[in-house]
Amino acid sequence: MNHTIRAQDESGVIHTRQTFRAFVDATIPQTTELAIEFGEMQYFGALDFDIDQFMIYLLNRVDVIPLAIPTAIMLDMAAEELVANEGNDHFLNFSVYEGGGAFAALAPSDRFRAIILLEELRINLENLPFPYQNNPALVLSVTNSLNRITTMGYYSEWWGYGTTRLEEPDDRVLEYLPLSWEQVGYPRPSLGYRAFRRYLYEEFTE
């Protein structure tokens, strides 16, 4: 393999991973305040559960075309648009997520401002990467799903699959109880939970 191409591929993987690390961290951050009030279990955020990997995995499987890399590029372009219009409240910091782009360099609150630009289509669709280029329906569909994907991954069994989480679904094994389940008191799936079936009816006669 050409060393230049390999370096570019590795750079793209790092950039994509850092972009989604920045996204999920802004969406479900670590919360010291909750840990103080409700116990240390409530401290953990999306980064602790590798939800960025979940997003990349899912985005690469929801369409014929893998969407993780073009989505990361689209987020960067929204961030660049935000900065160009002086819509960011904080300075860019490229040291937090090394190898990431403009989106990862934004402060968490500014990342949401960049997302709003996409949600309102206030970005040049012509310049977006394929398959988002001149495709407002896809831009809106994916952008609006990013928060849902993050939340779904966080409260699913994803992290509990441990070393098998990136395997195909049939090859995964639940290695331990996900900490997010412990946060909300979910005891894990079971075939033995009681289910409501009907009200008992008693006929009273005098």
- Specify whether the CB–CB gap between 22 and 97 falls below 8 A: yes
Confidence class of residue 11 from pLDDT cuts 50, 70 and 90? low
Q: Please state the rounded mean pLDDT for residues 95-120.
A: 97
Confidence class of residue 202 from pLDDT cuts 50, 70 and 90? low
pLDDT digits 0-9 by tens, 37-63: 999 989 999 999 999 999 999 999 987
Percent of the chain with pLDDT strictly greater than 70? 86
pLDDT at 2 over 70: no
Q: Which single residue is written with the structure tokens 């670590």?
A: 30
Q: Give the closest residue to 15 by CA, choosing from 76, 66, 78, 77.
A: 76
- Stronger pLDDT, 30 or 186, i.e. the higher one: 30
Question: What's residue 3's pLDDT?
Answer: 32
pTM: 0.85
- Specify whether the CB–CB gap between 44 and 32 falls below 8 A: no
Question: What's residue 186's pLDDT?
Answer: 86
Confidence class of residue 69 from pLDDT cuts 50, 70 and 90? very high
> What is the b/e burial string over 88-108, where b = at least 16 CB atoms within 10 angstroms of the residue's CB?
beeebeeebbebbbbbbbbbe
Structural tokens at position 20: 């989604």
Confidence class of residue 113 from pLDDT cuts 50, 70 and 90? very high
Q: Tell whether omega for the bond before 136 is within 30 degrees of 0, i.e. cis.
A: no
Structural tokens at position 49: 């559960």
